[in-house]
Structure 1
Amino acid sequence: MEAARAEAGTEAAISRALSALRARAGMDVAFGAKVNADGRAMRILQISGGLTQSLPGLTIASGAGLGGKALALGQPTRVRDYLVARGITHNYDHAVEPERLRTVAALPLRVANVPRYVVYLASRTPVELGDRWLDGLAPLLRDLERELAVQEELNRRLRLMPAPTRERPALSAGELREIAGELAALAGEVHDEALRARLQALHIRVAPDERLPLAQQPHGTLTPREIAVLEQVAAGCSNAAAAEQLGLLPNTVKSYLKSAMRKLGASNRVQAIVAARAAGLIR
């Protein structure tokens, strides 16, 4: 059940990213395809801005169509007018035509240097997509690749966990601390707010009474701003979201967070939240 939930979390992360990519790219439609384990095909799962249901569920072979070409080459591919484009096969025109798509870009997302998803961005009017357009999307695409890497690692660990049995002994306190530490490290690596909140919730479930040793208690009094930043982070906010809530610059939030972590003896934001709660500084 946990593994199935984690897989659903991966697809939810892709779904959220499609809306952000569509807005950043200024395109009419965005959809994502998950690559099969053997890399020979992929299946379109979600669409943002679609007119019909002609694309979701469509299976695309490696090398076929624009997305299949991107998958086979492992690099972005673009066409100005899909239905008359040369250099690609037209196996899937029957699904593209109802959406009235013209300019289309297919962008592979890689984890451990292997394509795992292909994101499509499309316009219903012909537009020119130059290198500057693609460079503008690079930060979002790299962030999404990092989220996918974390999700895949979480999914892998959940699949390896043995099914609970009555005979299986309970985890020791040391094992729980180790798991809590791994969850904290994963949470510190992700930018997706929903995934980070899930990891933080799991961390608290695994170690609800976690307290830092005396040597790691706060080394100085936290300022009101540092506490306000920690409250926003504890609520699942990214640095950018916390900055918007507090009327600060993201770099200023980052500075306050680093200062609070130093005073709390924490190496990541989850440990800082746990320490601040233990000290009664935040709820």
Structure 2
Amino acid sequence: MVIAHPIDAEHDLLARAVARLPLATKFPIAFGGLTADGLLPVTATAGTRTRSLAGLVVRPERGLGGRALVEKRARLTIDYRTARGITHDYDRAVLGEGISTLFAVPVMVDGHARGVLYCGSWSESPVGDVVARSAFTVAESLAMELRVNAEIARRLSLVATPEPAAIGSAAREELRESYAEIRSIAASISDESVKQRLAALERKLAALTADATAAPSDVRLSPREIDVLASVAVGATNAEIASTLGLKEATVKSYLQAAMSKLDVSTRHAAVTKARRAGILP
């Protein structure tokens, strides 16, 4: 599987979020962009009737989206043409599309506005709580996916070592921590394309630390059993694993006991050792 360049992947995530907005909010128009060099180029649209928004680049504090970007909160205008609380730098683009109501929601990643999602209509349309919550949900989902994408890029930069034999003990532990963290991230998302990218990264991490002399194993652990063992391998307690994976501590114990039984061992540390020898864990 080819893993996309991080920036390309970000724009794919944005395009999917923009495509979801009309379905989630029932507003016919949606568009959005991610920040780049201090600006916000609009690179994704959905439901538009014209090409007025094509090439639009929003500056911080300018227009509705620029305010949302700087203030880090959603901004709304029911009648864009007469709105007094915003600058009208982008009237040619917005009014060219015939937009009246416009709702701009910042995409917040680790306290920073990474982008803005817009939804709007050609007529005056009040935005109620249900619509607002739906837009916030799409923005929050995109923010999470952007965080995951950034983490994938960071982890990939750590696994550039070409030969497993060249990996020292410190680097090996870092890779194992990466593996555990990637599995915990994958357990928290539903986007199938992101899951596939994470799975590809997991396989690469495992291959980098694989023991070429290890005998093939017919042991098959469930995804959750591997999640738990991966966390055990980096020294996490059952309580910490439960918190990371969003499980009850008793459920973590159950998965761990099941894995130990399948691996035919009596301790958690022996389970990790045997799973590594079997190529199940890095």
- Where on the TM-score scale, by shorter chain, does this alignment land: which range? 0.5 to 0.7
Return the offset for 1:68: 0.7
1:151 to 146, 149, 152: 149
Counterpart-to-counterpart distance in 1, 2:145 and 2:91 = 32
Counterparts of 1:1-283 in structure 2, within 5 Å, are: 5-37=5-37, 40-158=38-156, 160-161=157-158, 170-171=166-167, 174=172, 177-207=176-206, 261=255, 264-265=258-259
Q: Distance in 2 between matches of 1:4 and 1:205?
A: 15
Residues 253-281 of structure 1 deviation map (CA, whole Å, 9 limit, x = unaligned): x99xx799567549xxxxxxxx9xx8xxx
The structural deviation recorded for 1:133 is: 2.4
Corresponding residue SS for 2:48: coil
Q: Which has the larger radius of gyration?
A: 2
Hey, what's the Cα distance between the residues in 2 that align with 1:59 and 1:88? Answer: 16
User: Contact 1:101–1:124 at 8 Å: present in 2 too?
Assistant: yes
Q: How far did 1:69 drift?
A: 1.2
Query: What is the letter of the counterpart of residue 84 of structure 1?
Result: T
Amino acid across the alignment from 1:5: H
The offset of 1:67, in angstroms, is 0.5
Q: Which residue of 1 aligns with 2:264?
A: none
Shift of 1:3: 9.2
Contact 1:79 1:105 in 2 (8 A): yes
Taking a change above 3 Å as real, the CA distance of residues 162 and 81 of structure 1, as seen in their structure-2 partners, is: same
Task: Name the aligned partner's letter for residue 103 of structure 1.
Answer: T
Does the 8 Å CA contact 1:18/1:48 hold for their aligned counterparts?
A: yes
What letter corresponds to residue 171 of structure 1 in structure 2? Answer: I
Counting matched residue pairs gives 228
* Structure 1 outlier segments of 4+, above 6 Å: 162-166
Length-normalised TM-score, structure 1? 0.67
- Opposite residue 192 of structure 2, the aligned amino acid is E
Does the 8 A contact of 2:161 with 2:167 survive in 1?
no
Counterpart Cα distance in 1 of 2:122 and 2:256: 51
Question: Deviations for 1:193-216, whole angstroms, at most 9, x for unmatched residues?
Answer: 2111111122123325799xx9x9
Q: In the aligned structure 2, how far is the partner of 1:138 from the partner of 1:56?
A: 24
Question: Quick check: 2:152–2:198 contact (8 Å CA) kept in 1?
Answer: no
For residue 191 of structure 1, what is the amino acid of its counterpart? Answer: S
Report deviation, 1:11: 1.3
State the 1:191 CA deviation. Answer: 2.6
Contact 1:190 1:196 (C-alpha < 8 Å) held by counterparts = yes
Q: 1:135 to 1:182 in 2, by over 3 A?
A: closer
The alignment's C-alpha RMSD in Å is 3.8
Amino acid paired to 2:46: S
Say which is worse superposed, 84-93 or 144-153, in terms of deviation. 144-153
Do 1:14 and 1:32's aligned partners in 2 also have CA atoms closer than 8 Å? yes
Match of 1:122, SS state, is: strand
